[in-house]
Structure 1
Amino acid sequence: MEIIGIVKKLFDVQKFDSGFKKREIVITTEEPYPQNVLIEFIQDKVDLLKNIKLKDKIKISINIRGREWTNPKGIVRYFNSIQGWKIEHYFAGTSNKTSSTPSSSLSSDDFDDLPF
Structure 2
Amino acid sequence: MEIRGKVHEIGDVQQVTDTFKKRDLIVQYAENPQFVEYIRFEATQDRTTLFDNLSVGDEVEVSFNLRGRPWTNRDGVTSYFNSLVAWRVAKVTSEPVAGGAQSASNSQSFTPPPTVDISAEDGKDDDLPF
Q: Kindly tell me: are residues 79 and 95 of structure 1, through their superposed partners in 2, closer, same or farther at Cα, counting changes over 3 Å? A: farther
- The question of whether the paired residues in 2 share the 8 Å contact of 1:89 and 1:96 is answered with no
Q: Cα offset for 1:29? A: 1.1
Question: What residue identity is the alignment partner of 1:64?
Answer: L
Equivalent residue number for residue 125 of structure 2: none
Cα shift at 1:78: 0.6
Q: Could you tell me how far apart the structure 1 residues matched to 2:11 and 2:4 are?
A: 18
Q: How is 1:62-81 mapped onto 2 (pairs within 5 angstroms)?
A: 62-81=64-83
User: What is the number of equivalent residue pairs in this alignment?
Assistant: 97
Change (3 A) 1:95 1:7: farther
Structure 1 residues 7, 95: closer, same or farther in 2, change over 3 A?
A: farther
Q: Which has the higher strand share?
A: 1
Q: Note the 1:24-103 alignment, pairs <5 A.
A: 24-32=24-32, 33-92=35-94
Report the aligned-residue RMSD: 1.8
Separation in structure 2 between the aligned mates of residue 96 and residue 56 of structure 1, nearest angstrom: 17
TM superposition outliers: structure 1 runs of 4+ over 6 Å: none
Identical residues among aligned pairs (%): 35
Give the superposition deviation at 1:16. Answer: 2.6
Higher-Rg structure is 2
Contiguous gaps of at least 5 residues in structure 2: 95-101, 106-130
Give distance in 2, aligned partners of 1:96 and 1:20: 32
- Which residue does the alignment assign to 2:123? none
Q: Which digits, 9 at most, give the CA deviation of each residue in 1:58-110, with x for residues without a partner?
A: 00101110001111001111111111000111124x6555xxxxxxxxxxxxx
Q: Find the aligned partners of 1:95 and 1:69 in 2 and give their Cα distance.
A: 42
